[in-house]
């Protein structure tokens, strides 16, 4: 689809130069330029929101500070996808794409804040998250135990709400035609709705047997849509891409997100916490309904299933217990099969990109897949 950048000039009001920055020195260099603009915008936007919040109430400003500290702490994968799609499809105006790309990161923050509430977690990446920060602040004032639980829960719920509102506000602030911004807003609203569906399936999974939950569908709804498909769509819409290109990006993003989630689930059991920052006990203690666990139950013999029944879902699961569960997952062939499923998703993403997108964009996106979801087991 070599003519995609030319078609990507349809209805944004922007008129990208086909020989513009995305083609001059390589897409990767200009994506990094775009991300630098996004980082600056995220810092400035958080500071401005805290300043406005101080005019309303000190507690409001404190909550914004806690939320702001959670923004932009990772690899900025979602803004990266937005910027890459925009530049790779012919866009050239970083001032136009930066607020929309930043919005994807702020929406991600909202999802994380709410996800931590659902998981009863008060730390993220080894540091206090929004609820953890509020609990510490309350403890410093002598408010602890059950007396603090209500305000802490409220902070998590309201902090996530603040971030969702800020994400939509960022899109509205972008210097793009109103019709273009509206398309992005509607796409993000749909992403929130679908992510809620995925979260509901996830949190109610423990009510069903390990083989009864469609973990790949949960991954698609909870991870693929808002983490991959929506950021890619936002960049494409800003670049004026046609529906065919948007469809390719959606298929790519779905496969990418599933592969990413499958790897994350594997690292949640077999990873190195010192490298990943992710516990290898919490998913097993929770009895999280992953594809890996589903395959383990399907492939386990009687003795192996007894081990899974006895240990998975125990809140006091020890490292020795986890080692026994890992042995079942490996010896039964479940780990190998889960890796094959992930490899198939990676292959689908790569093929979709290479067959349906401009070469430079396809190369950049397949590189991201390989780096973040295609790690060999």
pLDDT at 96 over 50: yes
CA distances for 238 relative to 104, 175, 269, 363, angstroms = 14, 10, 39, 21
pLDDT at 161 over 70: yes
**CB-count exposure of residue 131 (10 Å: 0-12, 13-18, 19+):** buried
Please spell the DSSP secondary structure of 202-263, one letter per residue: HHTGGGS-TTTS-HHHHHIIIIIIIIIIHHHHHHHHHHT--HHHHHHHHHHHHHHHHHHHHH
The whole-number pLDDT of residue 124 equals 82
Tokens of 73: 């702490």
The whole-number pLDDT of residue 277 equals 76
Tokens of 184: 């992005």
Q: Are strands 127-128 and 123-124 parallel, antiparallel or unpaired?
A: antiparallel
| Residue partners of 180: CB distance under 8 A and separation at least 6 | 11, 12, 13, 237, 238
Band of residue 18 on the pLDDT scale cut at 50, 70, 90: very low
The whole-number pLDDT of residue 7 equals 31
Q: Could you report the per-residue pLDDT of 115-152, keeping only the tens digit for each? A: 999 988 888 877 899 999 999 999 999 999 999 999 99
User: pTM for this structure?
Assistant: 0.89
Considering only residues 18 and 351, tell me which one the structure prediction assigns the higher pLDDT: 351
**CB-count exposure of residue 236 (10 Å: 0-12, 13-18, 19+):** buried
Specify which residues 227 forms β-bridges with: none
Band of residue 252 on the pLDDT scale cut at 50, 70, 90: very high
pLDDT at 377 over 80: no
**316 DSSP 8-state letter:** T
Q: For 123, phi and psi rounded to 5 degrees?
A: -135, 155
The whole-number pLDDT of residue 375 equals 63
CA distances for 18 relative to 8, 25, 35, 87, 252, angstroms = 10, 13, 21, 10, 24
Give the separation between CA 36 and CA 283, rounded to whole angstroms.
Answer: 35
- What is the arithmetic mean of pLDDT over 320-333? 97
Q: Could you report the per-residue pLDDT of 269-303, keeping only the tens digit for each? A: 999 988 887 889 999 999 999 999 999 999 999 99
Give the separation between CA 66 and CA 69, rounded to whole angstroms.
Answer: 5
Q: What is the mean pLDDT of the chain?
A: 91
Give the separation between CA 252 and CA 231, rounded to whole angstroms.
Answer: 12
Angle between helices 146-173 and 130-140 (to 10 degrees): 130
**196 DSSP 8-state letter:** H
Band of residue 8 on the pLDDT scale cut at 50, 70, 90: very low
The whole-number pLDDT of residue 16 equals 39
Whether residue 111 contacts residue 51, with contact meaning beta carbons closer than 8 Å, is answered with no
The whole-number pLDDT of residue 81 equals 98
The whole-number pLDDT of residue 154 equals 96
pLDDT at 4 over 70: no
Give the separation between CA 69 and CA 91, rounded to whole angstroms.
Answer: 31
pLDDT at 197 over 90: yes
The whole-number pLDDT of residue 374 equals 76
Of 112-126, 162-176, 254-268, the one with minimum mean pLDDT is 112-126
User: Considering the chain, what percentage of its residues have pLDDT values greater than 70?
Assistant: 92
């Amino acid at each position: 689809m070599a003519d995609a950048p030319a078609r990507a000039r349809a209805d944004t009001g922007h008129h990208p130069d086909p020989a513009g920055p995305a083609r001059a020195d390589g897409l990767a260099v200009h994506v990094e330029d775009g991300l630098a603009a996004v980082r600056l915008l995220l810092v400035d936007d958080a500071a401005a929101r805290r300043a406005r919040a101080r005019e309303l109430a000190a507690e409001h400003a404190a909550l914004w500070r806690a939320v702001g500290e959670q923004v932009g702490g990772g690899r900025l994968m979602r803004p990266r996808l937005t910027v890459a799609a925009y530049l790779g499809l012919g866009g050239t105006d970083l001032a136009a794409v930066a607020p929309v790309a930043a919005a994807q990161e702020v929406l991600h923050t909202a999802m994380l804040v709410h996800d931590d509430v659902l998981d009863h977690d008060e730390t993220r990446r080894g540091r206090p998250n929004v609820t953890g920060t509020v609990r510490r602040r309350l403890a410093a004032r002598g408010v602890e135990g059950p007396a603090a639980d209500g305000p802490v829960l409220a902070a998590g719920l309201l902090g996530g709400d603040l971030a969702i509102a800020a994400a939509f506000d960022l899109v509205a602030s972008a210097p793009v035609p109103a019709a273009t911004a509206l398309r992005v807003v509607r796409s993000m609203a749909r992403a929130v709705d679908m992510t809620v569906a995925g979260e509901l399936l996830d949190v109610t999974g423990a009510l069903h047997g390990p083989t009864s939950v469609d973990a790949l569908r949960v991954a698609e709804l909870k991870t693929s849509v808002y983490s991959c498909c929506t950021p890619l769509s936002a960049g494409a819409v800003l670049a004026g891409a046609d529906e065919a290109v948007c469809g390719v990006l959606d298929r790519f993003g779905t496969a990418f997100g599933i592969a990413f989630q499958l790897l994350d689930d594997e690292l949640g059991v077999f990873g190195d916490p010192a490298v990943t920052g992710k516990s290898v006990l919490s998913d097993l203690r929770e009895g999280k309904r992953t594809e890996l666990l589903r395959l383990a139950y399907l492939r386990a013999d009687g003795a192996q299933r007894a081990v899974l029944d006895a240990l998975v879902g125990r809140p006091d699961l020890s490292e020795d217990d986890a080692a026994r569960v890992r042995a079942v997952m490996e010896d039964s062939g479940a780990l190998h099969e889960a890796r094959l499923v992930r490899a198939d998703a990676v292959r689908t993403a790569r093929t979709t990109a290479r067959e349906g997108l401009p070469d430079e964009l396809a190369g950049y996106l397949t590189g991201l897949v390989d780096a973040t979801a295609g790690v060999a087991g």
